[in-house]
Amino acid sequence: MSDTKRREELLKGLDAKFKAVDRDAEPFLEGLQHAKLLTYWDYIQTDVLLNLQTQRTVFPDELVFITYHQINELLFKLILWEIQQLAEMKELTGLVFQEKLSRASRYFDMLTTSFTIMKDGMDPKQYEQFRHTLTPASGFQSVQYRYIELASTELINLIDLRFRSTIDRNTPYEYAFEHMYWQAAGKDFKTGKKSILLKNFEDQYKNDLLDFMGAYNTKNIWTRFKSLTEEERQNKTLLDAMRHYDRTVNITWVMAHYNTAKFYIEGQGKTAEATGGSDWQKYMHPKYQKRIFFPELWTDKEIENWGVDA
Ligand code: HEM
Ligand 1 nearest-atom number relative to CA 119:
1
> What is the arithmetic mean of pLDDT over 159-179?
94
The protein residue whose alpha carbon is closest to atom 42 in ligand 1 is: 139
Work out the burial of residue 118: count CB atoms within 10 Å of its CB; fewer than 13 is exposed, 13-18 middle, 19 or more buried.
Answer: buried
Give, in order, the Cα–Cα distances in Å from 103 to each of 9, 85, 92, 110, 244. Answer: 36, 11, 16, 11, 12
* pLDDT tens, position by position, 171-191: 999 999 999 999 999 999 889
The protein residue whose alpha carbon is closest to atom 25 in ligand 1 is 139
Taking the centre of ligand 1 as the mean of its atom positions, its distance from the CA of residue 251, in whole angstroms, is: 14
Distance, CA of 14 to CA of 25 (rounded, Å): 6
H or E element in which residue 66 lies: helix 61-88
Strand (E) or helix (H) holding 254: helix 253-261
The answer to whether 303 and 290 have CB atoms below 8 angstroms apart is yes
DSSP track, 181-248:
GGGGGTB-TTT--B-HHHHHHHHHHHHHHHHHHHHHTTTSHHHHHHTS-HHHHT-HHHHHHHHHHHHI
Query: What distance in Å separates the CA atoms of residue 134 and residue 62, rounded to the nearest whole number?
Result: 10
Q: Percent of the chain scored above 90 by pLDDT?
A: 88
Q: What is the pLDDT of residues 239-298, one digit of tens each?
A: 999 999 999 999 999 999 999 999 998 876 555 566 666 678 888 888 888 999 999 999
Is the pLDDT at 22 greater than 70? The verdict is yes
The residue whose CA is least distant from atom 33 of ligand 1 is 139
Confidence check: pLDDT of 2 > 60: yes
Which residues form the pocket of ligand 1, taking CB atoms under 6 Å from any ligand atom?
68-69, 72, 118, 138-140, 142, 145, 182, 185, 257, 260-261, 264-265, 274-278, 280, 284
Which pLDDT value is given to residue 277?
A: 65
- Cα 246 to middle of ligand 1, angstroms: 19
Looking at residue 96, its pLDDT comes to 97
Residue whose Cα lies nearest atom 31 of ligand 1: it is: 139
**What are 159's strand-pairing partners?**
180
Mean pLDDT, rounded, for 205-209: 98
CA distance 45 to 233: 42
C-alpha 141 – ligand 1 centre gap (Å): 9
- pLDDT tens per residue, range 50-101: 999 999 999 999 999 999 999 999 999 999 999 999 999 999 999 999 999 9
What residue ranges define each of the domains in the chain, with the CATH number in brackets?
3-35 (no CATH), 61-304 (1.20.58)
Name the 3-class secondary structure at 276. coil
Express as a percent the part of the chain with pLDDT over 70. Answer: 96
The CA R_g of the chain, rounded to the nearest whole Å, is 24
Q: What are phi and psi of 109, to 5 degrees?
A: -60, -40
9 vs 3: CA distance, rounded Å: 10
Per-residue CA distances from 135 to 55, 62, 102, 264, 295 (Å): 14, 14, 36, 15, 35
Q: What is the pTM assigned to this prediction?
A: 0.94
Residue 247: exposed, middle, or buried by beta-carbon count in 10 A (0-12, 13-18, 19+)? buried
SS3 sequence of 76-106? HHHHHHHHHHHHHCCCCCHHHHHHHHHHHHH
- For residue 25, the CA-to-ligand 1 centroid distance in Å is 53
The gap between the terminal CA atoms of the chain, to the nearest Å, is 61
> Mean of the pLDDT values across residues 145-152?
98
Local confidence band at 141 (pLDDT 50, 70, 90 cut-offs) = very high
Pocket test of ligand 1: the residue of 62, 64, 140, 293 to mutate, having most ligand atoms within 8 Å of its CB, is 140
**Amino acid at the residue 139:** G
Asked whether the beta carbons of 119 and 267 are under 8 A apart, the reply is no
- Check residues 301 and 272 and name the one with the higher pLDDT: 301
